[in-house]
Structure 1
Amino acid sequence: MDDYNTNVVFSNKHQISLKLPKEYWNSALDLLLSKGFYKRDVANAFLSLTDGNNFINFYSSGVLLIQGKDAQILKEEILKLVKLERVVVGCDEAGKGDVFGPLVLCCCILKPENFEKVLSLSPKDSKKIKDEELFRKIQALENLVEFRCIFLSPKELNQIYKEKPNLNRILDWGYLRLIKEVLKEYPDAKVTVDAYSHRNPFGSLASFEHKAEEKVEVACASMKARYEFLKWLKAHNLPKGASLEVMQMARRMLNQKNYEDFVKAFFLK
């Protein structure tokens, strides 16, 4: 999202990133066209508009980049188009594909009164955000939404895996527990889980959608889960991922008595 191809350099106050759900894109486009904006071609942007002084790029991730002296005014006008009628809940996980570290499942509860403020933080799928930005934003998010998470340490996960040797079925179990807990408190909430298999294991309790991180509430859950996962790795000075180098490091730990406290042992079988 760095290739926004303008010849103008703006200060931070004249450049704003905003998460806008795609169902509001047409309304935002109509608003901007009525204000004299016109379309232009910009590499990597799904859609780009300018009025000659301000520039707005729509990205496929749902992020809007607003640049120009009227950036703040344009942001406020676009946000007026956005309404959330009820509580929405998004769920995502982190650590599933990593040799070291926990499996973290999180659900984010987003209420209508905080919807605009959360959009202003431009939450993203945690796989598309740098760790430094994630750590900066998470505290602000925690002040605006509620998180419910299940944190399975490597030791706990290894034990569960012996009884239930399929990560997707473990995710089914964990998310069902979280969803029921959330719906008990917010029975009218709309719940969306980022899909990790082809079938919806939750029936009518939740929507099961691929690429659901485009939804604001799921992006927030993704960021929280990733934050908790990275915080654990940092505390134990262990690497991310499942590269050959990481696998070799994990195998060297096999002789340690407590290696299952740090390694997802089933990765090494």
Structure 2
Amino acid sequence: MNFVMKLTKNETLKIVKFYRDYASDSKNESVLFFAKTEFVAITVYSSNKVMFQGEDASAEYKMWVAMLNYNDDTSPKKPSITKKIEQVQDYFLESIGSDEVGTGDFFGPVTVCAAYLDYRNIEFVKTLGIDDSKKLTDDKILVLGEQLASKITFSLLTLHNEKFNDLTEKGYNLNKLKAYLHNKAILNLLAKLNTEPSVIMDQFAEKNLYFSYLKDEDNVYRDITFKTKGESKHASIAIASIIARYAFLKHFDKMSIDSGFTLLKGASKEVDLLTANIISEKGEQFLRKYAKVNFKTLAKAKDILKDM
């Protein structure tokens, strides 16, 4: 399905600037600018009409509707099927959502966010197209994260690498650390509110196990609903995921500058090679400030160095 916007010249220029790194040539003389990302094609016509096509066209269109405060008169009506209506209502449930980012990345911190979606922000959030937050590109996360952080009440915690490494060496496993951070973020957020809404967490451990990780804590929030793939079921979790990812990306970029290396996300053979290169140039101790040294990546990097 195609999504079309009729814009002013200044609004069109904002879109051209945003997608300039993805620009491609077009043989159509009426096309002023054409760009193509992995999931969407953007065509800007000389008439200042902009068309979005492709798998991610709907989400991209909704993002620009929100960013430009565009008057969208073409939005489809809600389906009349009762089950569909219930699913939409459940997704946009007024609630606190909690999610974490960075636990699968060798480089970079762990960020945890608890975010409150209240009824006053539901219509705003609906315009953003965040129902598949895990599919969003980093560029889009940086845009949406800033928008959400300016409107949503949230609590964000960052576990930096040096502290992470100290704690894991003292016997804390990753899930115990995540449980502590989630509990703290939820309590911090509730302290900001005059109400106590439902709390929904993207499940990373069984309920009993989650609370067992917190057995030594004096203050534990227990009225939590756990949902697997929660970001696709509740907007509050998707919001928390985006803000946590936004913070992670900001930290990650700064770490690349500070370290003098172009750090890579995730854990892969490319990350192994980069780690070996860093150890070769800076020494293993240098990694403690930028990486989670309990990952198998470190051992693989050392093996690479042995074979060199």
TM value normalised by structure 2: 0.60
Counterpart pick for 2:118 among 111, 124, 134: 111
Distance 1:257 1:64 in 2: 43
Distance 2:198 2:180 in 1: 19
Q: Secondary structure at the match of 1:122?
A: coil
Pairing 1:259–2:305 present: no
Where in structure 2 are the equivalents of 1:86-235 lying within 5 Å? 87-186=94-193, 187-199=195-207, 201-202=210-211, 204-214=222-232, 215-235=234-254
Q: Secondary structure at the match of 1:121?
A: coil
1:53 is aligned to none
Distance 1:10 1:205 in 2: 42
Shift of 1:76: 8.3
Shift of 1:172: 0.8
Q: Which runs of 5+ in 2 are unaligned?
A: 8-54, 63-70, 80-84, 212-220, 257-262, 300-308
Counterpart of 2:275 in structure 1: which amino acid? A
Q: Which runs of 5+ in 1 are unaligned?
A: 15-58
Shift of 1:95: 0.6
Q: Deviations for 1:115-141, whole angstroms, at most 9, x for unmatched residues?
A: 111111112454310111111222221
Counterpart of 2:252 in structure 1: which amino acid? L
2:266 is aligned to 241
C-alpha contact (below 8 Å) 2:154/2:189 kept by paired residues: no
Shift of 1:64: 11
Residue-pair matches, total:
211
Q: Secondary structure at the match of 1:72?
A: coil
Q: Cα gap change, 1:127/1:151 in structure 2, threshold over 3 Å: closer, same or farther? A: same
TM value normalised by structure 1: 0.68
C-alpha contact (below 8 Å) 1:108/1:220 kept by paired residues: yes
C-alpha contact (below 8 Å) 1:89/1:192 kept by paired residues: yes
Counterpart of 1:75 in structure 2: which amino acid? S
C-alpha contact (below 8 Å) 2:101/2:111 kept by paired residues: yes
Q: Deviations for 1:73-93, whole angstroms, at most 9, x for unmatched residues?
A: 4638549x8779984111111
Q: Cα gap change, 1:247/1:259 in structure 2, threshold over 3 Å: closer, same or farther? A: same
Counterpart of 2:154 in structure 1: which amino acid? F
Q: Cα gap change, 1:149/1:193 in structure 2, threshold over 3 Å: closer, same or farther? A: same
Shift of 1:227: 1.2
Distance 2:225 2:151 in 1: 23
Pairing 1:250–2:270 present: no
Larger radius of gyration: 2
2:5 is aligned to 12
Shift of 1:171: 0.5
Distance 1:166 1:182 in 2: 25
Distance 2:187 2:171 in 1: 21
Shift of 1:12: 3.0
Distance 2:6 2:129 in 1: 15
Shift of 1:153: 1.0
Q: Cα gap change, 1:261/1:150 in structure 2, threshold over 3 Å: closer, same or farther? A: same
RMSD between aligned residues: 3.2
C-alpha contact (below 8 Å) 1:99/1:247 kept by paired residues: no
Shift of 1:266: 0.3
Q: Deviations for 1:61-116, whole angstroms, at most 9, x for unmatched residues?
A: xx7989xxxx934638549x877998411111111001100010111111111111
C-alpha contact (below 8 Å) 1:118/1:144 kept by paired residues: no
Q: Secondary structure at the match of 2:267?
A: coil
Q: Cα gap change, 1:244/1:217 in structure 2, threshold over 3 Å: closer, same or farther? A: same
Q: Secondary structure at the match of 2:99?
A: strand
